[in-house]
Amino acid sequence: MDDDPLSFAATEPYADALPRLQPAALAGLPDAVARPLYNRTELRAGIVHLGLGSFARAFLGVVNETAIHAGGEPHFGIVGVSLRSPAVRDALAPQQGLYTVARRDADATGTPRSRLQVIGNLIGQLVAPEDPKAVLEAIAARATRIVSLTVTEKGYAHDPASGRLREDHPDIAHDLQTGGQASDAPRSVIGFIVHGLALRRARRLPPVTLLSLDNLPHNGRTLQSLVIAFARRVDPALAEWIERQCTFPSSMVDRIVPATTEADRAQVAAALGYRDAWPVIAEPYLDWVVEDRFAAGRPDWHLAGARCVSDASAWEQLKLRAVNGSHSALAYLGAMAGWRTVDEAVAQPEMRAFVHAMLTAEVRSTLPPLPSLDFERYVRGLLERFANPALAHRLQQIAMDGSQKLPQRLLATIEQRLAGGESIARLALAVAAWMHYLRGIDEWGRPYPIDDPLAEALAAARSAAEGEATLRERVGAFTHFAPVFGDLAGHATLVDALTKALASLQGVGVRTTLAHWARSD
Ligand code: CS2
């Protein structure tokens, strides 16, 4: 959710000596730095955004800024809500919500370059655990038209394989209780949304759009079914009002946003001449396909390059299976091999050949037709994005929360291929790499923590499987881990493919395995 592990303790002395980025500083920024060219005080809070991590600021914040510049629309300033930690608010409040986006790539000679933009449309910030009522009030405010979300997969508190609301999730269980505490001070994202919408309805205010910007399949529909399932438990009439009046457009979002480091912070400060306590780093690429079903209007995002369509599902599937599927494959294989970043991993010829083969030989056939898409070109472009040397996107960042990511990134593709009797060797290697990764130690003997909301349950499933006599039986037992494998539990062809891949990873290591698997069928 608030996804960036930025430490404020280790500050750069140089940056500390600089004045703070704030509205009065805008006029004094270097010419090359883009900045708000509108009157910030005219912006109204039309969007409440849940999950104010780096992705939201480098994606929604940027598109919205361009739309404001292009259309002069004052109704859609953003109130950002941090769901857990006050760190982003603490960093940005002294800057009155201003922050910098550094778009990074390399020029033709391979020299890294960075283009800076100061973003101005974040006009309010809330920290949910500090003041849950304020969050509910923001959702229920008359001016609010859109409630958007970047809360990561685990923020939905659903079962990743089936998509169902986890009523046993402690935050959901808390928010479902009847009485003041649950509705006045929810803890879960779904709880905030439903209790906020209940207030709206009680006040007879118009409905809003609930807009998921997370990497989930049919993210709008998924959000809708979770919200409705929760609302039915609270008040069936409310559930009906939400279903009839509010909209939940699905969308495909694509931009690589690595976590900000201290070095990034120092570099941005040096270029700005002002200290920004939490700039965000992004690749230049940005793609957004969003379903144009907004209950109360939307900003002119189409003027900022967003593609507003009637059905985004084909684009979502392409993105989840190709971009995120190969990202996860790179993360687990690369981390085990001891590579640190995506560009380092994809620079290994075996790794690059493997990703290319996985996409063209196995993922491609599962994608719905997209007449405007040149898939080979898309894959080439993707590998170039991964090769961006200026991002230093850590594989361990992508490796986190595997249990929440694998179903839609790799296993749905596998399921579809198995149904068609097609080979799954490469996709299975990526899943086997995750299973291998769960041992918590790379090929060089270096340990790392497993950062996953289901880490304990995964560790228990692993040790239960250890009791089996053969590798195949151990793998078979592990595939009964329902939140990840769902209906694929014990599927003989899958278990065979995973066993073969895991045996190779354990026996000859990542590099040699990759060389074989890039070719094999
Ligand atoms: C990544 C994504 O961290 C991850 O799991 O795969 O955040 C990825 O960088 C974005 O979805 C790209 O659009």
Ligand 1: residue of 214, 324, 382, 384 to mutate (most ligand atoms within 8 A of CB) is 324
The residue whose CA is least distant from atom 5 of ligand 1 is: 398
pLDDT band, residue 75 (cuts 50/70/90): confident
Please say if the pLDDT value at position 8 is more than 50: no
Q: What percent of the chain has pLDDT over 70?
A: 96
Q: What is the pLDDT of residue 365?
A: 97
Please say if the pLDDT value at position 344 is more than 70: yes
**Which of 260, 259, 263, 200 shows the shortest CA–CA distance to 231?**
200
pLDDT band, residue 5 (cuts 50/70/90): very low
Cross-strand pairs, 247:
209
Please say if the pLDDT value at position 487 is more than 60: yes
pLDDT band, residue 14 (cuts 50/70/90): low
Q: Each residue of 186-223: pLDDT tens digit?
A: 999 999 999 999 999 999 999 999 999 999 999 999 99
Q: Residue 184 has which token pair? A: 């006045």
CA pair distance 491, 508, nearest whole angstrom: 25
Q: Each residue of 431-460: pLDDT tens digit?
A: 999 999 999 999 999 999 999 999 999 999
CA distances for 367 relative to 322, 403, 417, 472, angstroms: 9, 23, 11, 30
Ligand 1 atom at shortest distance from the alpha carbon of 405: 5
pLDDT band, residue 521 (cuts 50/70/90): low
User: 177 versus 82: which is more confidently predicted?
Assistant: 82
pLDDT band, residue 71 (cuts 50/70/90): confident
Choose the weakest-confidence range: 6-10, 24-28, 55-59, 289-293.
6-10
Q: What is the pLDDT of residue 452?
A: 98
Q: What is the pLDDT of residue 239?
A: 98
CA pair distance 299, 271, nearest whole angstrom: 31
CA pair distance 391, 395, nearest whole angstrom: 12
Ligand 1: residue of 213, 323, 434 to mutate (most ligand atoms within 8 A of CB) is 323
CA pair distance 212, 378, nearest whole angstrom: 24
- Continuous H helices in 153-218: 170-176, 180-184, 189-202
Residues 6+ apart with CB under 8 A from 460: none
Neighbouring CB atoms inside 10 A of 129's CB total 13
pTM: 0.95
Instruction: Tell me which amino acid residue 310 is.
Output: S
CA of 260 to the centre of ligand 1 (A): 15
CA pair distance 80, 88, nearest whole angstrom: 10
Write down the residue that tokens 């086997």 correspond to. Answer: 432
CA distances for 187 relative to 126, 128, 129, 184, angstroms: 14, 8, 7, 10
CA of 398 to the centre of ligand 1 (A): 7
Write down the residue that tokens 């900000």 correspond to. Answer: 260
**Which of 454, 340, 464, 463 shows the shortest CA–CA distance to 400?**
454
Q: Residue 367 has which token pair? A: 């994608």
CA of 318 to the centre of ligand 1 (A): 13
What mean pLDDT comes out for the span 495-512?
A: 98
The residue whose CA is least distant from atom 7 of ligand 1 is: 256
The residue whose CA is least distant from atom 3 of ligand 1 is: 398
CA of 384 to the centre of ligand 1 (A): 15
Q: b/e string for 438-457 if b means 16 or more Cβ within 10 A?
A: beeebeeeeeeebebbbbee
CA of 324 to the centre of ligand 1 (A): 6
Ligand 1: residue of 256, 385, 451 to mutate (most ligand atoms within 8 A of CB) is 256
The residue whose CA is least distant from atom 1 of ligand 1 is: 398
Beta strand ranges found along 108-207 (DSSP E): 112-119, 122-127, 146-149
Ligand 1 atom at shortest distance from the alpha carbon of 409: 6
Q: What is the pLDDT of residue 518?
A: 84
Which residues have C-beta atoms less than 6 Å from ligand 1? Answer: 215, 254-256, 323-324, 327, 397-398, 405
CA of 475 to the centre of ligand 1 (A): 27
The residue whose CA is least distant from atom 9 of ligand 1 is: 256
Write down the residue that tokens 């923590």 correspond to. Answer: 449
The residue whose CA is least distant from atom 8 of ligand 1 is: 256
Q: What is the pLDDT of residue 1?
A: 41
Ligand 1: residue of 150, 215, 386, 406 to mutate (most ligand atoms within 8 A of CB) is 215
* Mean of pLDDT over the chain: 95
Please say if the pLDDT value at position 13 is more than 90: no
In contact, 101 and 114? CB cutoff 8 Å = no
CA distances for 482 relative to 332, 412, 457, angstroms: 21, 14, 11
Ligand 1 atom at shortest distance from the alpha carbon of 255: 13
CA of 215 to the centre of ligand 1 (A): 8
**Which of 59, 90, 60 shows the shortest CA–CA distance to 77?**
60
In contact, 62 and 286? CB cutoff 8 Å = yes
Q: b/e string for 206-242 if b means 16 or more Cβ within 10 A?
A: ebbbbbbbbbbbbbbbbbbbbbbbbbbbbeeebbebb
Where in the chain is CATH 1.10.1040.10?
313-519
Please say if the pLDDT value at position 66 is more than 50: yes
CA pair distance 360, 351, nearest whole angstrom: 14
Calculate Rg over the CA atoms of the chain: 23
Ligand 1: residue of 285, 286, 327, 437 to mutate (most ligand atoms within 8 A of CB) is 327
CA of 392 to the centre of ligand 1 (A): 13
Q: What is the pLDDT of residue 388?
A: 97
Q: What percent of the chain has pLDDT over 90?
A: 93
CATH topology for the 313-519 domain:
N-(1-d-carboxylethyl)-l-norvaline Dehydrogenase; domain 2 (1.10.1040)
Which DSSP symbol is given to 38? S
Where in the chain is CATH 3.40.50.720?
15-309
Q: Each residue of 253-308: pLDDT tens digit?
A: 999 999 999 999 999 999 999 999 999 999 999 999 999 999 999 999 999 999 99
Ligand 1 atom at shortest distance from the alpha carbon of 324: 6
Domain 15-309 grouped into CATH 3.40.50.720: yes
Give the three-state DSSP class for 112.
strand
Count of positions (residues) in the chain: 521
